[in-house]
Structure 1
């Protein structure tokens, strides 16, 4: 597993960004795509249908876009993880301290709900009171799953020996990596 200052062995073309809900995966994936030149497909937009119902075409859509030569997306949804990791060149693990992540998920959820920001396929954040009543509310989900990557990343590493994994433990490391090893490898 590489860290923020380690050089990449080659220019990445197919990139995954992993991390707990709210850590900044989509933001980082978008920035990586701008550097590497491949499109960013926000995987949540493929997964969530109207009314937060999972789309039937989710896996075929993932299969389709990952068949391309270049792409960047988030490493989410257990049903797609093996396919994604098997086709990626690089997995970037955004492993920020949980207090940072928790603050981000709370701010993002409040902003989206108060502004009634439309997310994917017409969905909006549910009422704030549902953080207390809905087991899968995004804030509760972030808390419950915060340690899952500590086992799933090493498993992906074992199952995909050619997959390069970079672990970024702070926003400062992420910025250094974007400006250093990723840019250097992408030229």
Structure 2
């Protein structure tokens, strides 16, 4: 899966994993493994091991440390190419819910009100990186180095739902 933060990559990856009977791996859970959003020192080797398997569904091909590895090993990329007007309400609702309920996330971390002031917060990240991510994914999907990678691109959640229902 590729797309900006809040597009629904994890939700779709879980559903796709169930439909295809393939293991699902959540990249954020692999990347963050401790308090204070500590980064997993073995992230690259763990992802490499998972991606060497015969089939898998990963909810993000965007982590720079493993981006090329995953694009090289994937046979299909699902691109949730939704506009900001769709993504931003989703990411804002999710982050408000997580902050208010103190939902425990990756590595035992939580979103906090103070965290909203950080440029790393999902809402800020989704807003500021939308165009950059779009351009980068567009470039990669056209890169002959990744042929014969199949790209399935959706511009609206309704299209994604219809495709999944017919899978």
| TM-score tier (shorter) | over 0.9
The one-character-per-residue Cα deviations of 1:70-122 (angstroms, maximum 9, x if unpaired) are 10012221111110110001000001121110000000001111111111111
Corresponding position of 2:158:
172
**Is the 8 Å Cα contact of residues 76 and 150 (structure 2) preserved in structure 1?**
yes
Q: TM-score, normalised by structure 2?
A: 0.93
User: Equivalent of 1:39, from 14, 19, 23?
Assistant: 23
State the match for 1:105 in structure 2.
91
Superposed CA offset, 1:110-148 (max 9, x none): 1111111111111111x224323x121111111111112
* Residue 23, structure 1, aligned to residue 4, structure 2: no
Instruction: List runs of 5+ in structure 1 lacking aligned partners.
Output: 1-16
2:121 is matched with 137
SS across alignment from 2:153:
strand
**Higher helix proportion:** 2
**RMSD of the TM alignment (CA)?**
1.2
Q: Match for residue 134 of structure 2? A: 150
| TM-score, with length taken from structure 1 | 0.83
Q: Which has the higher contact order (CA 8 A, sep 6+)?
A: 1
